[in-house]
Amino acid sequence: MAEVTLTLEEYEALREMAMGSTPAIIDTPEPVQKKRKVSASQRRYGRAFKKVAPQFKLKNGSWKKNGFRLAVRAAHKLAKSNRKL
Protein backbone atom coordinates (compact mmCIF):
# COMPACT_ATOMS: atom_id res chain seq x y z
CA MET A 1 0.00 0.00 0.00
CA ALA A 2 1.29 3.45 -0.90
CA GLU A 3 2.16 5.94 1.80
CA VAL A 4 0.35 9.29 1.58
CA THR A 5 1.56 12.37 3.38
CA LEU A 6 -0.57 15.50 3.55
CA THR A 7 0.12 18.93 4.89
CA LEU A 8 -2.25 20.35 7.44
CA GLU A 9 -3.80 22.69 4.87
CA GLU A 10 -4.38 19.84 2.40
CA TYR A 11 -5.93 17.68 5.12
CA GLU A 12 -8.32 20.43 6.19
CA ALA A 13 -9.28 21.16 2.57
CA LEU A 14 -10.09 17.47 1.99
CA ARG A 15 -12.03 17.32 5.24
CA GLU A 16 -14.12 20.37 4.29
CA MET A 17 -14.86 18.87 0.88
CA ALA A 18 -15.93 15.57 2.47
CA MET A 19 -18.15 17.23 5.06
CA GLY A 20 -19.81 19.39 2.43
CA SER A 21 -20.20 23.10 2.60
CA THR A 22 -21.87 24.23 5.79
CA PRO A 23 -23.98 27.36 5.72
CA ALA A 24 -22.18 30.40 7.01
CA ILE A 25 -23.30 31.45 10.46
CA ILE A 26 -24.48 35.03 10.40
CA ASP A 27 -23.45 37.05 13.41
CA THR A 28 -26.48 38.97 14.58
CA PRO A 29 -25.79 41.58 17.19
CA GLU A 30 -27.33 40.76 20.54
CA PRO A 31 -29.98 43.22 21.68
CA VAL A 32 -28.59 45.68 24.20
CA GLN A 33 -30.34 45.27 27.51
CA LYS A 34 -31.38 48.35 29.41
CA LYS A 35 -29.66 48.95 32.72
CA ARG A 36 -32.02 48.81 35.63
CA LYS A 37 -32.76 52.04 37.41
CA VAL A 38 -31.53 51.95 40.99
CA SER A 39 -34.27 53.15 43.29
CA ALA A 40 -33.74 55.73 46.00
CA SER A 41 -34.26 53.14 48.74
CA GLN A 42 -31.66 50.85 47.19
CA ARG A 43 -29.16 53.72 47.11
CA ARG A 44 -29.91 54.57 50.75
CA TYR A 45 -29.45 50.92 51.75
CA GLY A 46 -26.16 50.64 49.83
CA ARG A 47 -24.72 53.72 51.53
CA ALA A 48 -25.95 52.54 54.95
CA PHE A 49 -24.45 49.07 54.44
CA LYS A 50 -21.04 50.49 53.54
CA LYS A 51 -21.23 52.66 56.64
CA VAL A 52 -22.07 49.87 59.12
CA ALA A 53 -20.16 46.93 57.57
CA PRO A 54 -16.79 47.66 59.26
CA GLN A 55 -18.41 47.34 62.69
CA PHE A 56 -19.28 43.71 61.90
CA LYS A 57 -15.91 42.66 60.46
CA LEU A 58 -12.71 41.34 62.02
CA LYS A 59 -9.31 43.03 61.74
CA ASN A 60 -8.39 40.85 58.75
CA GLY A 61 -11.51 41.98 56.86
CA SER A 62 -13.55 38.79 57.17
CA TRP A 63 -17.01 38.83 58.66
CA LYS A 64 -17.59 38.11 62.34
CA LYS A 65 -19.90 35.23 63.21
CA ASN A 66 -23.38 36.30 61.99
CA GLY A 67 -21.73 39.61 61.09
CA PHE A 68 -23.12 39.85 57.57
CA ARG A 69 -26.65 39.13 58.76
CA LEU A 70 -26.37 41.71 61.54
CA ALA A 71 -24.89 44.27 59.15
CA VAL A 72 -27.77 43.79 56.72
CA ARG A 73 -30.30 44.30 59.49
CA ALA A 74 -28.50 47.38 60.82
CA ALA A 75 -28.24 48.85 57.32
CA HIS A 76 -31.96 48.34 56.68
CA LYS A 77 -32.76 50.00 59.99
CA LEU A 78 -30.44 52.91 59.25
CA ALA A 79 -31.76 53.34 55.70
CA LYS A 80 -35.34 53.31 56.95
CA SER A 81 -34.61 55.96 59.57
CA ASN A 82 -32.86 58.17 56.98
CA ARG A 83 -35.74 58.23 54.52
CA LYS A 84 -37.64 61.44 54.06
CA LEU A 85 -41.35 61.29 54.74
Per-residue pLDDT reduced to its tens digit, 4-38: 788 888 888 888 888 876 555 667 778 888 889 99
Instruction: Find, among 38, 36, 64, the residue nearest to 52 by Cα.
Output: 64
Positions of E strands within 1-85: none
Q: Provide the CB-side half-sphere exposure for 13 (13 A, CA).
A: 5
Domain boundaries, the chain: 43-85
Rounded to 10 degrees, the C-alpha dihedral 39/40/46/48 comes to -160
Per-residue pLDDT reduced to its tens digit, 34-84: 889 999 999 999 999 999 999 999 999 999 999 999 999 999 999 998 887
Contact 47, 83 (CB under 8 A): no
Flag whether the pTM goes above 0.75: no
